Every structure is written in C-alpha cells, then in structure tokens.
Amino acid sequence: MIIPFLVIGIIIACTILISAYRMIFGPGTFNRIAAANVIGTKAIVLLIIVGYIIERPHFVDIALMYAVLSFVGTIIFAKYLERGELCSP
Amino acid sequence: MLTVDIVAIGLMAVGAFVMLTGMLNIMKFRDFYIGIAGITFIIGVILAVALGRRGIVDTLAVLFLAAGAFFIITGVIGLLKFPDFYTRLHATGKCDTVGQIFIVVGCMIYSGLSLISVKLFFVAAFYLLAYPSATHAIMKAAYATGLKPWKKGDPRM
C-alpha cells in the first residue's frame, strides 16, 4: 500500500510549490511570513509521508523536531516585526 | 472473524451518521449524543485496528488521507486567491490544521498499535497547540504594525 502515500506526497509537494508563489511574489512582509509558515508546516507532513513511502517510519522523530523549530522561528519573527527588537529590557 | 468486521463497520457507520446529523443540525441532537457518537466511532476504529483486519484498516487510512488532501488543497486555494493578508490567514489557519491532523491520524491508523503511533499522536497534539497560536502571533503583529484590513471595493493587496 504505497500508492496512496505516493499520491498524497505528490499533492503536498504541489501545494508547497503553490505556496512558494505567494512567498516569492507576495506583497509585503507579512504575506511572505504567512506563506513560509504554511510551507514549514506542510514539510512536517511531507516528512512523515516520505517515511512511509520508503518504509522507514522512524522519520517521525525528525518531523517532531522540525515542528518545534518551525514554531519557534515563526514566533520569534512575529515578535521581532511587532516590537522592532528581540530583547526588550 | 466476519462478525467482528460487521460489528466494527456497524459501530463506525452509526457513529459517523450521528455525528454528521448532529453537525449539520438536521435533527435536534444535543452535544451529549455527538460525544457518544464520537466515542462509538473511536471504539469501532480501535476494534478494527487491534484485531488486525487489514482491509478495514487500509480503507480507513485511505479515507482519512483523502480528507486531509481535500482540506489542504482548499487552504492553498484560499492562500492564493483571497484579496487580503487577514483573509489569507483565515483560510490557511483553519484548513491546514484540520487537513494535516487528518493526514497524521490516517498514518496512525495505518501503523496500528505501536510506538510510531504514539509519536504521531504527539505530533498531532503539538500541531493542534502550535499552529493556531503561530497564526495568532503573525496576525497580532500585522495588526499592531498598522496593516489595514481589506474592504469591499478596494484593489487587491
């Protein structure tokens, strides 16, 4: 049963390409950050699906790690854009 | 083992039907019945997974994966076509959360009762916490820096 995972993986890759359009041409900074957030969260699911395609589902560990890093990156970027500085005294 | 199949499929069908009618508000069900229907559906899934009926399990996994793909495609169309930053995040913030949790749950059902399933559950739980709060943080930052919302008649931003 590899075919359904293959189809879902191709669909997620196409949606990542479509989001990359919004990240490159999107007007303003916030559209680009939103598209980068979308791409980062789709990459988690794509990692899990690739792990099932090559029959090595232990890729889930990497996916969990990447989820934490992506979330922290998005939060830090939003905080920096809101306040103009990272560390406020 | 045929009776086990029939019992599992019957439990899932009854649970799904009652949940759908409760969500669509066709009959005047209360939240209590929707909760009972959800527990019935989950009991059917666990019965099919624990007894190792590969036909039912594979079909359920494919159904969940297809539902996740539908929601993800809807969210990306919203990200591409909506006229404003806030409406774009309104589309992706909900559809992506639901769709990717559906895909992770499909992989959980496919894996059965194992350690990988537990790790996938942690991924889904973290996802349910993290992604809406990240969306909220970006939107709050945009509103604080003075990005105007789109009104009808304005050009696309």
* Dihedral angle sign, alpha carbons of residues B70, B72, B75, B76: negative
Token match 């993800």: residue?
A: B72
Query: Is residue A52 a part of any domain in this protein?
Result: yes
Total tally of structural domains belonging to chain A: 1
pTM for the full model? 0.85
Q: Is residue A88 part of a domain?
A: no
- Residue whose structure tokens are 């709050």: B140
User: Residue ranges per domain, chain B?
Assistant: 1-51, 54-147
Q: What token pair was written down for A58?
A: 């232990």
Q: Which candidate from A31, A44, A82 shows the least CB-CB separation from B88? A: A31
pLDDT, residue B16, reads: 81
Q: Which tens digit of pLDDT belongs to each residue from B125-138?
A: 998 999 999 999 99
**Is the Cβ pair A78, B137 closer than 8 Å?**
yes
Q: Is residue A43 part of a domain?
A: yes
Q: Residue A55 belongs to what domain range?
A: 3-83
Cβ contact B134–A74 (<8 Å): yes
How far is it, in rounded angstroms, from Cα B106 to Cα B58?
9
Query: What span, in angstroms and rounded, lies between the C-alpha atoms of A59 and B139?
Result: 32
Interface TM-score (ipTM) > 0.95:
no
Residue A89 lies in a domain: no
pLDDT at A89: 63
Q: Is A69 on the interface with B (CB under 8 A)?
A: no
Residues comprising chain A, all counted: 89
Any CB–CB contact under 8 A between A28 and chain B?
yes
Comparing A41-55, A59-73, B1-15, the range with the smallest average pLDDT is B1-15
**B46-68: average pLDDT:** 85
Taking the CA of residue A32 and the nearest CA in chain B, the distance in Å comes to 10
CB-CB neighbours of B77 under 10 Å: 14
